[in-house]
Amino acid sequence: MTSILSSYHPQASTAIPDWVLMRDAYKGERQVKSKTIVYLPMTSAQEIDGALISIVSAGYKSYNSYKTRARFSNYVREAIQLAIGMMHSQPPEIKLPKAMENIKSRKGESLQAVLQNINEEQLLSGRIGLMLDLPSNPAVGEDMPYLATYVPERIINWDDGTVEQLVPQSLGLVVIDETEFERSADFSWNEQKKYRVLMTGSTENNESRGVYRQGVFKDGDFVESQLMTPSWRGKQLDKLPFVIINSCDITPDVDDPPLLDLGNLCMTIYRADADYRQNLFMQGQDTFVISGGSFDEAEEVRVGAGSRLELPMGGEAKYVGVTSSGLSEQRQSLDRLESRASSMGAQTTDSTSRERESGDSLRIRVAARTADLNTVAIAGAAGLQHILRIAAEWMGENPEEVIVIPNKEFGEMPLTGQSMVEISTARNLGWPISARSMHDLAVKRRMTTKTFDEEVTEANGEGEDFVFGKQDNGDRASVQPNGGGPAGQNSVAAQSTNPSGRDAQ
C-alpha cells in the first residue's frame, strides 16, 4: 500500500485560506501587495487594456501604479503586539522538577519565550503545535529533551479517533510538513520535501496508547519499518508527545483565528483606500480638449507658459477632468472602516484623541470578540503544562510538580507617587493591608527587586533623614520585621488617628 504523506486533513484544507490571510496581514504591506490580485482585484478598464495578458501592457502599468498608491493599514500586527505586551507585562509562573530546569526550545529559547511565541500564534492563526523531542546525537550529559513549535500550516494531518459512545478521543497520529531549503556543496539552495510522522500503535487504526514511534521521510515516501522508537536513557513513551493549542482549548479540532474579522476588515480597507487614492490621482490627470479646430493626430500639442496655441475662429480649448462629487463619500466610508478596525483592535478612535485603551477595555475588544486575552492565556499555559508533564513522565519525574500559571493581570494599575500616598492613607484609615502586601505590589510593578526584609533594612539604614514609614506630621513609624503586628505579621505601627478619633488599626 502506498501512503500519501502530503494528504491534508479536511479541517486543515478548509482553514488554510484563513491562516494565509492572517499571516499576510501580520507581515504587512509588502507581503499583501506581493499577492497582487488576491487582495486587490484589477479594475475593468485595466483588464480591457491587457493587464492580464502582458506585463508591458498599458493595463498592467496602470494596475501596478494603482497598487503602489494604495496603503495597507496593519491593525492586525498592532493589536497582537499590544496584546502580547499586556499578557507578558508580568512573567508567568513556571515550576519544574529540578532535573527539568534546563529544558528549552530547539532554538535555545527559555520556556517563558516559548509561552510568548505560543500566545502570539494563538492570536494570529488561533492554532499552534508543540512537540517534545530528543537531540539526535547528544553529547554526554546533554540529552535533555527540547520543545519544538509548529505553525498550523505545518500540521497537515492528524487522527484523534472517531466519536464512539463515551470513548475519549486522543491523538494517535500527526503528520508535519518539514519541507525546507537545504544548501548544496556549491552553495546553492534547493527545496527538499520532508514529512515527519508521529504515531502510536499501528497505521491502520488510531491508537491513543501504544509505543511511540516517529520518523522523517523525504519526498512523501512512507515506509513504516523506518520509524524509530525514541527513548530517554532507555525509557520509551506510550503516548504522543505532541499537543495542539487553539485560542480557547487544546483539542485537535480547528478553530477560527480570533482576529479573522479584523484581518478581513484590513483587506477591505486596503481595497477602499486603493480606490480612493486612484480617484485622487485622477483629479490631477485632466484631458486637454480642443473643439472647432482641425489638427493632425501626430502633431505635438504643447500647453503651459512659453507655448502658443492657434485656433480658428469659434474654436475652443479646455480641460475635462474626473468629477470629484464622490470623493467625500469615499473618504467618509474609509473613515468608518478605519474606526471600526481600531475598535476591534488595540485602539479607540474618538474626536479628541487616539490614546491606548485601558486594560479592561482591550481585554474585551482584542481577539475579535471571540476569545479574550484571559482565555488565550489559560489555553496557552495549559498546552505548555501538558507537554512538560509528558516530559516529566518520560524523565521519571513527578508530573504533578510541573505547574504553569500565566499572567492574567492585563490592565495593571500604575504605581505612582500619588497612588502610593493614597494606599498608605487608606491603610492608616483602617484598610486591612499589611506593609508586606504593599511591598509585593511594588515588586509586581517593578519598582524594586529586593525582598521585604531587605527593603526595610536598607531604607532604615539610610540615616535619620529617611526612616521607613515616616509620616507627614513628623511622627515616625516603627518597623517590626520579626512578627510584630496582628497575627504575628510584619507591620508598621503608624502613629496617626482616623477621622472618628479612634487609633488607626
Question: Has residue 15 got a pLDDT over 80?
Answer: yes
Identify the residue with better confidence: 158 or 504. 158
pLDDT at residue number 35: 95
Q: Which residue type, as a one-letter code, is found at position 461?
A: G
**CA 298 – CA 436 distance, rounded (Å):** 90
Among 284, 271, 281, 261, smallest CA distance to 334 is for 271
Among 146, 144, 94, 143, smallest CA distance to 116 is for 94
* 102-106, 144-148, 167-171: segment of lowest average pLDDT: 167-171
Instruction: Tell me the CA distances in angstroms from 439 to 435, 464, 472, one per residue in order.
Output: 6, 22, 20
Contact yes or no for 123/367 (Cβ under 8 A): yes
> pLDDT digits over 173-187, tens only?
999 999 999 999 999
Question: Has residue 287 got a pLDDT over 70?
Answer: no
Q: Which pTM was predicted? A: 0.74
Identify the residue with better confidence: 296 or 427. 427
**SS3 (DSSP) at 147:** strand
pLDDT at residue number 184: 92
Average pLDDT of the residues in 262-289: 85
pLDDT at residue number 413: 58
Report the percent of the chain where pLDDT is more than 70: 76
pLDDT at residue number 243: 96
**CA 240 – CA 146 distance, rounded (Å):** 15
**Pairing, β 478-480 against β 173-177:** unpaired
Question: Has residue 421 got a pLDDT over 80?
Answer: yes
> pLDDT digits over 112-146, tens only?
999 999 999 999 999 999 999 998 877 666 789 99
* 16-20, 392-396, 461-465: segment of lowest average pLDDT: 461-465
Question: Has residue 297 got a pLDDT over 80?
Answer: no
Site of grid cell 484581518? 263
> pLDDT digits over 59-74, tens only?
999 999 999 999 999 9
pLDDT at residue number 11: 94
Contact yes or no for 348/360 (Cβ under 8 A): no
Q: Which contacts qualify for 435-439: CB closer than 8 Å, 24 or more apart?
A: 435/469, 435/479, 435/490, 435/491, 435/492, 436/489, 436/490
Among 220, 263, 249, smallest CA distance to 8 is for 220
In degrees and rounded to multiples of 5, residue 105 shows phi and psi of -80, 170
> pLDDT digits over 200-254, tens only?
977 777 666 789 999 999 877 888 889 999 999 889 998 999 999 999 999 999 9
Q: Band of the pLDDT at 465, cuts 50, 70, 90?
A: low
Site of grid cell 462629487? 325
Question: Has residue 443 got a pLDDT over 90?
Answer: no
